[in-house]
Amino acid sequence: MAQAKPTSSRTKTTTTTKKVAVIGFGNIGTGVVKLLYEKGIAGLELVKVVDIDIKRKRPVTLPASYLNTDWKATVSDPGVDIVVEVIGGIEPAKSILLAALNHGKDVVTANKMLLAHEGQSIFRLASTRQRRIGFRASFVGAHQLIHEFRQTGIAAKKFKRIYAILNGTCNYILSTMTREGEGFGEALSEAQAKGYAESDPSDDIDGVDTANKIRILLALISNSYHMVAPFPVEGIRDIALQDIQYATELDYAVKLIGVIEQNDGIFNVSVHPALVPRASLLGSLTGAYNGIELEDEYGTVSGLVAPGAGTYPTADAVIKDLLDIAEDRTMVMPKSAGALTLGPPEAIERRYYLRFSVVDQAGVLARISNIFWKYDISIAAVIQKETTSKEFVPLVITTHLAKEGDLQAAIDEVDKLEVVKARTKIIRILNANT
C-alpha cells in the first residue's frame, strides 16, 4: 500500500489582485505607472490613471481606456481597490484621499505637505473606516524606517532621539560648499542646474520640507495622528562659507538637521543647521543623500542612508506600500488621538558655535566672557585670526552645554556692545552625548 504524503501544517494563502488607480501623471506618477504597467507586479493591476492633462506625451504609453480626467468618478468606482495620490499640494489632494477612504478604498500617497498639515483628519478617517494609508514615499530617504517599524512594532521600541538629514537639496548645497569652497549662491545655482533644486527652492532651503517630514516621523513614533503645535524651523540661507570653513577646522560638518528628542513623554522638536562631527554617520553624508540616526531607550544607536529624492526611488516606495496592502501585511500608521507635549525650546540644552564680528582691539573677548558668565555659559574654544578688514574681525567661540534661552539672552546683550559690528551667527552643535 502506498504511504500517504504528510499534510503540511502551514496554510497556504493566496493573494487577491488589487486594482490600482493612480491620480497624478507627473514625474512621480509616471514612474509608478511605468512600474505597474510595463513591468507587471504580481498582486497589483493598474486600471486607471487620472490627470488634468492626459494628452501630453510621456515616457509610458497607455491605452486610452486607462486615462481619465475625473478623479471623483475614479475614487467612487467599485472596480478600484487602491487609490494612489501623487499630485502634491493640499487641494484637491486632501479631498481625493478623504473621498477614497469614504468609498472604502485603501490609499497610498507621496504627499508630505498634506500629511504634515492635514494628517489629523486623514489618519482619523482611515482609522474610523478601518482602511490603510501607505506613505513611505512622503519621506523617501527614510522609508526603510517604516519597514523597521512594521517588523518590530512601534510600541515595542521607544526612541530617545532621532537626528535626521531629510532634504537632499540642502545636503547637496552644504556638501558642495564644503568640498568646492563655494558660497551659498554658487552652490544653490549648481544644485538647480543639476536638477537637485527647484527654480523656487524656498521650501527646501528654508527648512519647510524637512519640517513636514519631521511632523510625519513624530506622528509615527508617537502613534498619534494629533499634529503638534509649531516648533522652531530654521533653514540654510544664512550659512556663510566662512562658517563651513571654521566648522571644518573644528572637525565638524554643517548639516540641516531635523531633531526629535524624547524625555519622559516630553518631545523637543526642531529643524535647524547644526555642526555635526565629521566622522559620524550624518557628518559624513554628502551629495543629495538623506540619513537618519536613531538612539533607542536602551542607548542602542542605528542609522539609515538612502537617496533623498528622484522619480524612481519615490515610485519604488509607492510600490512597496501597494504590495503591503495587496499582501495584507501590517501597515504602519498613527492610530491614536492622544495629544503630544512639546518642551519649551528655551529650556533645551545644547552646545553652540558662535561667530562674532568685532572691533580688533584689546578687551573684547573679556567683555563677551563677562556677559557669558552672567548667564552661566562656559566657553569651550576660541578661534581668532588676522584679517585685512579695517572694520571688524571674526571671533569664533564654541560653548559647553547651555540653555537655549540663556544663550539667546546673552547674545542679545553682546550684540548691543559698541565693539560688535554685526549680528552674531549662531549654529547649534549636535553631539549625541551632549
Q: Which residue ranges in the chain fall short of pLDDT 70? A: 1-15, 140-143, 147-157, 309-310, 387-389, 432-434
Residue 196: predicted pLDDT: 86
Residue 332: predicted pLDDT: 79
As a whole-number percent, the residues of the chain with pLDDT over 70 amount to 91
DSSP state letters, 358-398: E-SSTTHHHHHHHHHHHTT--EEEEEE---S-SS-EEEEEE
Residue 265: predicted pLDDT: 83
Write the pLDDT tens digit of every residue in 38-94: 988 999 999 999 999 999 999 999 999 999 999 999 999 999 999 999 999 999 999
Rounded distance between C-alpha atoms, residue 139 and residue 129, angstroms: 25
Rounded distance between C-alpha atoms, residue 31 and residue 318, angstroms: 10
Domains located in the chain, CATH noted = 18-134 (3.40.50.720), 151-306+335-342 (3.30.360.10), 346-429 (3.30.70.260)
Rounded distance between C-alpha atoms, residue 79 and residue 77, angstroms: 5
Residue 335: predicted pLDDT: 79
Residue 389: predicted pLDDT: 67
- pTM for the model stands at 0.89
